[in-house]
Amino acid sequence: MENEFIQLEGGLDTVEGFFTLGVHCGIKKVNNDLAIIFADTPAAAAAVFTTNRVCAAPVEVTRQNLKKNGHFQLVVINSGVANACTGQRGLEDAITMSEIAAREFGLSDPSLVAVASTGVIGDFLPLDKIEFGIKKVKEFYPQTHSSRETARAIMTTDTFMKERAISFQLYGQEVHLAGIAKGSGMIRPNMATMLGFLLTDAAVYPDSLQKALKTAVDVSFNRVTVDGDTSTNDMVLLMANGKCGKTRIDENHPDFPRFQAALTFVCQELAKDIARDGEGATKFINIMVRGAQSENDARTIAFTVAESPLVKTAFFGQDPNWGRIMAAIGRSGIAVIPDKIYISINDNPFVEDGMGTKKMTRNELQSVIQNKDLEIVIELNQGNAEFNVWTCDLSFDYVKINSHYS
């Protein structure tokens, strides 16, 4: 399936009918901190939001606006301040942010604007700086656009910007799909301090777009965990302006699975980049649990192992301490049968029948885990269900980054 997609340079700039740019407006000392995505015409929209009960003001405003219209024409995003735990004033500020953007870009209806914020919790939005930033972007419109500057503007502790773009055939026509994302610490399933913005020029009905996004997020962003923490501000937004496509498709259209696959592919690539860029990460780790009695069992074990600080520090230290993986499996609450467990890393046996393998020396095990990319397969031999999670190791730098953040 992957082969049907042509990967492109240029990120969001490859999608027709959208202007995007990021600038520095002064919320952060340096680096871009404000981004705009502007569509020529209102675009069908879909979104998935944080499940954190402490949910930031921009999440509430964007959710309401989406419910009202099913379409967005403008997205305004800031980094540096999360506008979370800011009460009624926070809600008013998020609405004001959408109104400023609507005014500057000539939209009469501010509910066609999506707003998103990421950064420190508890501070109020510096609306003067945000207004300055929006006006700055407007000055460049429409000549100077840049997916890259946009992707940079949504970063917090990310060390590299994340963007992907593909083209593929849909209803006999070439269409484009692209996305940017931010992640780093506090990443966890159910959309933890991660932002993702996806654009396509394909023509899809909003309801079907929402279904496709939900499906894609479940097997991509919701499979990433860096530290088990989840945030107040997460949002993945997808806009489809239909520039390439005479008629809109829905989920019954024969080409819908192809659209779904393309969206899933882009989301998974961005999700893996997020795990790869986990705060202080030195390794990218895919944990695959197989042979479980249910997908839920496999999921529980995968996340318990992926979020175990002892497992994660052992990988950072290149210590082939498979006992910690066994201990994490054992405390997951799932009724595993220890003697049936097999564990391999990059296709090398580590655990057989619940015990350390006799096929490899300690030195050999150690050389396996010196790889930067690790594929850990946990075979439970109890059933046919499986689930995988992407994560990273836990390093000194994680502690360094997170002990002095706010």
Site for a second copy in 150-189 (CB under 8 A): 185-186, 188
Rounded to the nearest 5°, which phi and psi values hold at 43? -115, 140
User: Could you tell me the sign of the dihedral formed by the alpha carbons of 299, 301, 304, 307, in that order?
Assistant: negative
Answer yes or no: 193 catalytic: yes
Of 121, 288, 360, 385, the residue at the interface with a second copy (CB under 8 A) is 121
Which H or E run includes 379?
Answer: strand 373-379
CA dist., res. 229 & res. 247, Å (int): 42
Least CB distance to a second copy at residue 88 (A): 9
Site for a second copy in 346-375 (CB under 8 A): 351, 353-356
Of 45, 324, 376, 388, the residue at the interface with a second copy (CB under 8 A) is 324
Least CB distance to a second copy at residue 358 (A): 11
- Residue where the block lists tokens 């269409």: 175
DSSP assignments along 148-207, one per residue: HHHHHHT-SS-SS-EEEEEEEEETTEEEEEEEEEE-SSS--TTT-S-EEEEEE-S-B-HH
Of 260, 321, 367, 381, the residue at the interface with a second copy (CB under 8 A) is 321
**Residue (246 or 404) nearer to a second copy, CB:** 404
| Contact region with a second copy (CB under 8 A), list: 3-11, 37-45, 47-55, 205-213 | 47-55
Q: Closest by alpha carbon to 114, among 39, 182, 54?
A: 39
Backbone Cα Rg of the chain: 22
Calculate ∠ Cα 212-218-219, nearest 5°: 100
- Residue of 14, 193, 225, 300 marked active site: 193
Q: Tell me, residue by residue from 287 to 316, as one string, x for binding to a second copy by CB under 8 A and - for no binding.
A: --------------------xxxx--xx-x
Our measurement of the distance from residue 168's CA atom to the centroid of its chain's CA atoms, rounded to an integer in Å, reads: 22
Least CB distance to a second copy at residue 398 (A): 7
Of 40, 68, 296, 338, the residue at the interface with a second copy (CB under 8 A) is 338
Chain residues in the site for a second copy (CB under 8 A): 51-55, 82, 84-87, 120-123, 185-186, 188, 190, 192, 227-232, 307-310, 313-314, 316-324, 326-332, 334-336, 338-339, 351, 353-356, 394-396, 398-400, 402-406
